[in-house]
Structure 1
């Protein structure tokens, strides 16, 4: 499984890169702050909603600590998506949230 640090994701965003970020946390967690521009799909909805994602794009998966997004990353990799897990999740995130 490919992983990237929260700092590396933040640097990419600060450098103007357009990233496809998917936050798999629950609604109450997302209400406390989400990375600007991230798409919210709860982990439990990934099997039904993964078709909303484009297999020609790269995605960065995010959760609170990196464990749930890791499970989502493994599932989506098996479905043929280019997915990278953000290690440490939002606990490691120091950038802006909305």
Structure 2
């Protein structure tokens, strides 16, 4: 079981950018409206309030939100479900790479 004291691994937005060519799973936990406003092209929108229903087949999942707080909560939820999670520090507010608008 996940304890409050176990650390969630994290990467910077720059580190994330170097990993995107490796076919990683990146979940954007912001609201659908925030997601449509601009997101990383490979990201899949899975809002924080729906995280407990996530059933991806991959073991390793990267999580991003606007600032890093919601993705940290989402990481705890998924870690409890047995996923290896990596939080993206700073979130979209720190992202300087390509952004896609719309769905």
Q: Which residue of 2 aligns with 1:46?
A: 51
Detail structure 1 runs of 4+ shifted over 2 Å in the superposition. none
Q: Which residue of 1 aligns with 2:29?
A: 24
Query: Map of 1:4-83 to 2, 5 A cutoff?
Result: 4-13=11-20, 16-47=21-52, 49-51=53-55, 53-54=56-57, 56-83=58-85
Segments of structure 1 that go 5 or more residues without pairing to the other structure are none
TM-score, L = length of structure 1: 0.89
- Render the CA deviation track for 1:3-40: whole Å, top value 9, x for unaligned: 11111001222xx2111100000111111111112111
Segments of structure 2 that go 5 or more residues without pairing to the other structure are 1-7
Count of residue pairs the alignment pairs up: 93
